Amino acid sequence: MSGMAGKVLIAQGGGPTAVINQSVAGAVLEARRFPQVTRIYGAMHGVRGVINEDFYDLTEVTSHNLNAFADTPSSGLLSTRDKPDVAYCKEIFKVCQAHDIRYFLYCGGNDSADTCRILSEESHKAGYELRVAHVPKTIDNDLLVTDHCPGFGSAAKFVANAFAGANLDNRALPGVYIGIVMGRHAGFLTAAAALAKRYVDDGPHLIYLPERPLTKKQFLDDVTKAYKKHGRCIIAASEGIVDTKGKAIAEQFTGGEKDSHGNVQLSGTGALGDLLAGWIKSGTDIKRVRADTLGYLQRCFLGCVSEVDQTEAREVGEKAAQFAIGHNADGSVAMKRVGDYAIDYFYTPLNTVARKSKEMPAKFINKEGNGVTEAFLAYAGPLTGELPRATRIQAPVVKKILKKK
């Protein structure tokens, strides 16, 4: 195949995932197959690196290095929280012209898709041929159109294993355990806490998502009931849980620090977990209450990756190169579920993904708003790859001698 000659530029934006380097490796290796590609560049720190012309030349990276890099979590080309507007995109565009960059592949979430959209529009207006492909990634799993997002499966595996472990710990030394999970507006990752449950009384017993407002009363009622039933209680709560006015419950504790997208800081503090623990300590007679905030480990822990997620992240990178370079088209790579479990990749217009976000559909949330449904487990189960299984001892109980009734 031959087409427009020029360079390929690859960059990563937003929060890292465990598999985002797979997408870069996939795109680089695939881009090398096209004769019209003159060089392949990688921007350091996303779009900020583009306007600063901070580029690696990836054309001759060894395949060993590329594959070892692919297996390494977090954005290895480094990332940015910059969210380009039209003026910023014009700067990017100038750099692309200066370096004869004809293909721009950007790994990121819906903000990055929006950057791609603006770049695509500006290049059309200017009559400069620039193909722009958005390569999806986000642990939040909140992109539209696609069945799910690369990065989610591995983060979901981490969360599932974390809660399965906390459940075992809490069985051994009973009490209430609260785990706070990432996810500002979408509860997918928090819901993943349920994926490694095995025995009927395994936790998490309660799951609170940003999609359903939470009152202190409901929370305490739920906890008291679960604790009475199991003699213990495991709670998974999203960092983004809101009160009945739609305000993030965590917001009051973070001093209102905002990122460049205007989002209030939710992660990197244990305040929400401690607040919920305080509610239980003051509102019930339960003595042992512990709260963990899973924090940044969810998206970057070394050695916890879904093999399914790994493969798919690699493939969306390959597909982005094929669609942009081979088919000479702009768009965002998306996934369609075509079997149990099988995926097809397709290209969707940038404006169908840009800026918008998806929440958990109602069918994935139980009626009480404190748990997930079988439909969610069927949806998310295949994405984590195989999970370790916790096993209890299966042994008869001995008759008492001294305390027999």
Count CB atoms within 10 A of the CB of residue 164: 24
- Region from 49-57, 103-111, 130-138, 373-381 binding a second copy, contact rule CB under 8 A: 49-57
Reading the block at residue 191, the tokens are 């819901």
Cβ–Cβ < 8 Å for 178, 189: no
Q: If you write DSSP's letter for every residue of 3-19 in order, what string do you get?
A: ---EEEEEEE-SS--SS
Contact status: 98 vs a second copy (CB under 8 A): yes
Residue 140 known to be catalytic: yes
Which residues, numbered 25-44, are part of the site for a second copy (CB under 8 A)? 41-42
**Least distance (Å) between residue 402 CB and a second copy:** 5
Provide, rounded to whole angstroms, the least separation between the CB of residue 306 and a second copy: 11
Q: Tell me: does residue 55 bind a second copy (CB under 8 A).
A: yes
From the centroid of its chain, how far is CA 289? 28
Q: Does 264 bind a second copy (CB under 8 A)?
A: no
Q: In sequence order, what are the residues at sequence separation of 6 or more whose Cβ sits closer than 8 angstroms to the Cβ of residue 59?
A: 32, 39, 40
- The crossing angle, in degrees rounded to 10, of helices 307-321 and 20-31 is 40
Nearer to a second copy (CB atom), residue 14 or residue 331: 14
How many CB atoms are closer than 10 A to CB 9? Answer: 26
We find the least distance from the C-beta atom of residue 375 to a second copy, in angstroms, to be 24
- The answer to whether 134 and 120 have CB atoms below 8 angstroms apart is no
* Residue 271 found at the interface with a second copy (CB under 8 A): yes
Which residue of the set 140, 142, 222, 330 is catalytic? 140
Residue closest to 51 by CA, chosen among 95, 115, 105: 95
Which residues in 275-294 contact a second copy (CB under 8 A)? 277, 289-294
Among 22, 23, 75, 370, binds a second copy (CB under 8 A): 75
Total chain residues near a second copy (CB under 8 A): 86
With CB under 8 A as the contact rule, the residue among 187, 273, 317, 371 that binds a second copy is 273
Footprint of a second copy on 122-181 (CB under 8 A)? 160-162, 164-166, 168-169, 171-173, 177
* Tokens read off for 394: 């299966």
CB of 28 to a second copy, least distance (A): 9
Single residue of 22, 238, 267, 370 touching a second copy by CB under 8 A: 267
Is it true that the peptide bond before 341 is cis, omega within 30 degrees of 0?
A: yes
Q: What are phi and psi of 137, to 5 degrees?
A: -160, 140
Residue 78 sits in the site that holds a second copy (CB under 8 A): yes
Instruction: Annotate each residue in 292-321 with x if it binds a second copy (CB under 8 A) or - if it does not, as one string.
Output: xxxxxx-xxxxxx-----------------
Indicate whether 48 belongs to the interface with a second copy (CB under 8 A).
no
Site string for a second copy, 182-221 (x = CB under 8 A): --------------x-------------------------
DSSP conformation letters of 36-60: TEEEEEEETTHHHHHHTT-EEE-TT
Q: Which of residues 365-404 bind a second copy (CB under 8 A)?
A: 387-398, 400-403
Name the β-bridge partners of 186.
Answer: none
Question: Which string of b and e fits 276-308 if b means at least 16 CB within 10 Å?
Answer: bbebbeeeeebeebebebbbeebbbbeebbbeb
Cβ at position 352, least distance to a second copy in Å? 27
Active site residues: 140
